[in-house]
Amino acid sequence: MKHLLSAQDLTRDEAILLLDTAAQMAATQSREIKKLPTLRGRTVVNLFFEDSTRTRISFETAAKRLSADVINFSAKGSSVSKGESLKDTALTLHAMGADAVVVRHWASGAPHQLAHAGWLDAAVLNAGDGTHQHPTQALLDAFTIRRHLAGGTGDLAGLRVAIVGDVLHSRVARSNVHLLRTLGADVTLVSPPTLLPVGVETWPCATSYDLDATLADWKPDAVMMLRVQRERMSGGAGAFFPSALEYSRRYGLDHRRLAVLPDHTIVMHPGPMNRGLEISAQAADSDRSVIVEQVANGVAVRMAALYLLLAGGSSAEGTSI
C-alpha cells in the first residue's frame, strides 16, 4: 500500500498490522527517550487546507518521534475564496522532495486526487477530507477499543460499537463503520433521521433513531459520541434539529444514560467535545471515558502509519502494507 486514503481500503490483515505496529510504537513511547531513528532523512509535509491544530500536532509529533524532517504547510483556501490551487501546491511539494504528504482538506476526495492525479509521487496520508474519511482516527479508535476490550491483540470480533450523532457530516463515522466491520465488530449508528445520509442502508451496520433503546437493549461495548457542529441547527428552515436542548435530551450522553451501560462499556469521542451538547461533563470525565487516551493513541497509530508507508518495505522485520 502506497497511500492511506480511506479506512475502507484496508484489508483485515493490513488493519491488524497497523494496530500491531502501533502497539510496538506505543511501547517505545513509555521509554525515557521516545525518539526512533527510523525515518531519518525523510521529509513529511503536513499539508493543512483546514485548521486542525490537534490533528496537525498529533501527526507532527508522530513524524518527529520517527526522526523525520517535518514541514508544516498551511494552505488556506475555501470553496468560496480559492487560494493556491491544489495542483500547484502538489507540484510545489513534489519539487521540494516530500516523501509523505499528510493532507487535511475541506473537500472530500482531495487526498485521492493528490494521490492519483499524477502531480506528486509522495505517499499520501489522509488526515481528514471533507465529509469523507479520516482513516487514522478510525485506526486510533480501533486501537483504543482493542486495548480495553480485546486484550490488545487480534481483531474486534463480536464487539458492539454504537456511534452516536451527526453521521451525515462525519468523516469519523464513515471511517469507523468500515474499519470496525473489517475487524469483526458490529456497529449501530444512532442519529436523528435528518443526520443519517440517504444511502446509508448499504453500509455494513445497523441504524437506530433511539439512543435509549440502543443502550438498554443492544448493550454496546463501546459508545462513540460524534461532535455536533452548532451550525447544523442554525440554518432556519434548513436546520437539522430544533434546538441544542432537544438534541442533548434525545441524543446526548448524560449521567442517566451512562448508568444504563454495562459495567465494561467505554465512552469515546474524537474531540473536540461540545460539553453539554452531545456529551455531559460527567460522561466525559467518568471512569468509562477513554477520550484522553484516544489522543495519546493517535500519536502511536500515526507513527505506525508513517512507518509502514515510508519504511515498511525495507524494514528489518520485513513488514509491508
Q: Which residues are catalytic?
A: 54-55, 82, 104, 134
CB-based contact 249:207 (threshold 8 Å): no
Classify each residue of 221-239 as buried b or exposed e, where b means 16 or more C-beta atoms within 10 Å of its C-beta: bbbbbbbbeeebbeeeeee
**Residue 172 binds other proteins, judged by CB under 8 A:** no
Cα 150 to Cα 74: distance, rounded to the nearest angstrom: 38
**Residue 209 binds other proteins, judged by CB under 8 A:** no
If you count them, how many residues does the chain have?
321
Least gap, CB of 199 to other proteins (angstroms): 3
Least gap, CB of 179 to other proteins (angstroms): 14
Task: Candidates 193-201, 212-220, 280-288, 311-319: pick the segment binding other proteins (CB under 8 A).
Answer: 193-201
Q: From its phi and psi, is residue 191 left (phi > 0), alpha (psi between -120 and 50) or beta?
A: beta
Least gap, CB of 96 to other proteins (angstroms): 21
Sole binder of other proteins in the list 151, 193, 199, 318 (CB under 8 A): 199
User: Exposure of 38 by Cβ count < 10 A (0-12 exposed, 13-18 middle, 19+ buried)?
Assistant: middle
CB-based contact 74:82 (threshold 8 Å): no
CA angle in degrees (0–180, nearest 5) for 59-146-209: 90
Measured from the CB atom, the residue of 54 and 116 that comes closer to other proteins is 116
Cα 55 to Cα 237: distance, rounded to the nearest angstrom: 33
Q: Which of residues 2-21 bind other proteins (CB under 8 A)?
A: 8
Least gap, CB of 229 to other proteins (angstroms): 14
> How crowded is residue 11: how many other Cβ atoms within 10 Å of its Cβ?
11
Q: Which of 223, 222, 282, 231 is nearest to 251 (CA)?
A: 223
**Residue 31 binds other proteins, judged by CB under 8 A:** no
Sole binder of other proteins in the list 48, 59, 143, 203 (CB under 8 A): 203
Sole binder of other proteins in the list 95, 202, 287, 314 (CB under 8 A): 202
**Residue 219 binds other proteins, judged by CB under 8 A:** no
Q: Cell triple for residue 100?
A: 509523505
> How crowded is residue 151: how many other Cβ atoms within 10 Å of its Cβ?
8
Measured from the CB atom, the residue of 132 and 288 that comes closer to other proteins is 132
> How many residues lie near other proteins (CB under 8 A)?
31
Q: Which of residues 75-134 bind other proteins (CB under 8 A)?
A: 79, 82, 85-87, 105-110, 112-113, 116, 129-133
Cα 221 to Cα 88: distance, rounded to the nearest angstrom: 46
Measured from the CB atom, the residue of 60 and 129 that comes closer to other proteins is 129
Q: Which of residues 234-263 bind other proteins (CB under 8 A)?
A: 237-238
Least gap, CB of 58 to other proteins (angstroms): 21
Q: Where are the beta strands (DSSP E) in the chain?
A: 43-48, 69-74, 100-105, 123-129, 160-164, 186-190, 206-208, 222-225, 266-268
Measured from the CB atom, the residue of 78 and 153 that comes closer to other proteins is 78
Least gap, CB of 259 to other proteins (angstroms): 34
**Residue 200 binds other proteins, judged by CB under 8 A:** yes
- Residue numbers of the site for other proteins (CB under 8 A)? 8, 79, 82, 85-87, 105-110, 112-113, 116, 129-133, 171, 174, 197-203, 237-238
